[in-house]
Structure 1
Amino acid sequence: MCKPVTCKICGKITWEGCGKHIDEVKASVPADQWCDGNHSTTKD
């Protein structure tokens, strides 16, 4: 079962678990609070 967790990089909500229930987790989170996983890894 999947559950919402806080992204360690951006602080928004993402998911943890088996991957079969991502849509259910995502449906419970406002779109502007969902972590899309696109984090910049470049350094100056």
Structure 2
Amino acid sequence: MSHPISSLLTMKSFFYSRRRKTPSHAQFVSSMLIIVHLQN
């Protein structure tokens, strides 16, 4: 059961990281947000 907000953040961060071709900070933040969101 995936949340639309977290999946949107993941797609957004994935798009940004692909665009920059570097491991972006947004990807780390979004993954942390997803982990916290799943724990709650």
Pair in the same fold by TM > 0.5 = no
Task: Normalising by structure 2, report the TM-score.
Answer: 0.26
Task: Normalising by structure 1, report the TM-score.
Answer: 0.26
Larger strand fraction of residues:
1
The structure having more radius of gyration, on CA atoms, is: 1
Larger helix fraction of residues:
2
